[in-house]
Structure 1
């Protein structure tokens, strides 16, 4: 099992706004009616492995950043996962198993992060 840790909503938001982290919103579509997170990469939980898997050349997928410019994600890019609270650690572990080395889940989930926006 990959090792991931919690990150506070404040840290996740500050790092994302500074361009140091990518927020991955892996909440199921049926609960995203709560609202969106500006600049977050939205993906269905079941699609995480396919959408974030490294390419055959070993590079990582391109994810849109908050300024809508595409950038390639490096193995050590900080990733902050938001999902249904009980699923966030498991989804973060899935992402880490794909080769990303700086993966966290947001403590308090969507509501905590949304309160920072």
Structure 2
């Protein structure tokens, strides 16, 4: 029986790990966690904050996720959106989800991310 989502994996192009670290750790505030050695050899990086775990895996024929995306719940969404904007990340507000404040952004390689807060 399903009990939780363990992690969400997004793809990234080869050689993008430094940009991903700057964004996911520096801008979003997640902590990078070491990958097991056998998986580290494949490249990519893993990040977490509390129960939120995002894995970025290297994909040779990478294309950013245009529609698919993780939905990440945040506190103080206006402050969080301002933090992203100050770092040059796009912030696109969307009011189409009843009962929530939310915006979309893109990571440095173009993957779509949704940030939301219940009203």
Which bin holds the TM-score, normalised by the shorter protein? under 0.3
Greater percentage in helix = 1
Per the normalisation by structure 1, the TM-score is: 0.27
Q: Which has the higher contact order (CA 8 A, sep 6+)?
A: 1
Per the normalisation by structure 2, the TM-score is: 0.27
